Amino acid sequence: DVRLEESGGGLVQPGGSLTLSCAVSGFTITNYRMNWVRQAPGSGLEWISDIPSTGDYLSYADSVRGRFTISRDSAKNSLYLHMNSLRVEDTAVYYCASGRTLDYWGQGTLVTVSS
Amino acid sequence: DIQLTQSPSSLSSSVGDRVTITCRASQTIATNLCWYQQRPGKAPKLLIYSASNLQSGVPSRFSGSGSGTHFTLTISGLQPEDFATYYCRHTYSSPPTFGQGTKVEVK
């Protein structure tokens, strides 16, 4: 069975840093595009970053470019999102999702940016 | 960036109704469009990919159509578990944006 499990969310002050993890089982992440999508409280879905199967061209939404970095560890079959210079408006549930069509999703992890 | 506009933003329907949701793209995206369902407190779920292809395991009452800039998601015979929010998303270019969502509520 395919399973994606995010972790690493929590409360952080504005300007702080946090790293989210997404542990994957059931497929090899280096064979698929992997994504991060977020959802602010009471709002819609926002794609924020992806890494293709080749790992060579990383894409970011304008709202996070220069502050967030996507990466992966093939040995751990895990995806990561390194978040720096966090802002109040980054408060959201963060999901990892697989493939170009986002066919599998994790359950999400909540990041709260507040002083 | 390509903008996706869904209509309506919300609708009220009853079990058994036929429901249609529209997604319009700000420029042509061929058939590079997906539909997702999100129930409260849950992760989204892929329903339709490439505008009209039903994802494995999704009930056949869900169908998608369209190409270019105009797309529709139809639920034929609404079931109690279908009351949820639905999102379209394009995969034509980066960034692959979502529509703002359509909430299907109980009448």
SS3 B80: helix
Structure tokens, A73: 């560890």
DSSP track, chain A: --EEEEE--EEE-TT--EEEEEEEESS-GGGS-EEEEEE-TTS-EEEEEEE-TT----EE-TTTTTTEEEEEETTTTEEEEEE-S--GGG-EEEEEEETTTT-EE---EEEEE--
Tally C-beta pairs within 8 A across A and B. Answer: 47
Shortest CB distance from B43 goes to which of A44, A47, A95?
A95
Query: pLDDT confidence of A88, banded at 50, 70, 90?
Result: very high
Please tell me the distance in Å from B76's CA to the nearest CA on chain A. 23
Interatomic CA distance for residues A72 and A85, integer angstroms: 21
Question: Which residues in chain A have their CB less than 8 angstroms from residue B36's CB?
Answer: 45, 102
For B58-74, the pLDDT digits (tens) are: 999 999 999 999 999 99
Quick check: A45 and B38 CB within 8 A?
yes
| Per-residue confidence (pLDDT) for residue A33, from 0 to 100 | 97
Supply the mean pLDDT for chain A. 97
| Per-residue confidence (pLDDT) for residue B88, from 0 to 100 | 98
| Per-residue confidence (pLDDT) for residue A5, from 0 to 100 | 98
SS3 B81: helix
For B8-44, the pLDDT digits (tens) are: 999 999 999 999 999 999 999 999 999 999 999 999 9
Average pLDDT over residues B62-89: 97
Structure tokens, A45: 């879905």
Q: Kindly state whether B34 is in contact with chain A, defined as any CB-CB distance less than 8 angstroms.
A: yes
Question: Which residues in chain A have their CB less than 8 angstroms from residue B87's CB?
Answer: 44-45
Contact yes or no for B103/B9 (Cβ under 8 A): yes
Chain B 54-73, residues with CB within 8 Å of chain A CB atoms: 55
SS3 content of chain B, % helix, strand, coil (to 5): 5, 50, 45
CA of A103: which chain B residue's CA is closest? B46
| Per-residue confidence (pLDDT) for residue A11, from 0 to 100 | 98
* Residue with tokens 């210079």, as numbered in its chain: A85
For A29-76, the pLDDT digits (tens) are: 999 999 999 999 999 999 999 999 999 999 999 999 999 999 999 999
| Per-residue confidence (pLDDT) for residue A43, from 0 to 100 | 97
Give the up-direction half-sphere exposure of residue B75: CA atoms within 13 A in the CB hemisphere. Answer: 25
Query: pLDDT confidence of B105, banded at 50, 70, 90?
Result: very high
Supply the mean pLDDT for chain B. 97
* Residue with tokens 């960034």, as numbered in its chain: B95
Please tell me the distance in Å from B96's CA to the nearest CA on chain A. 7
Give the N- to C-terminal CA distance of chain A in Å, as an integer: 40
Query: pLDDT confidence of A100, banded at 50, 70, 90?
Result: very high
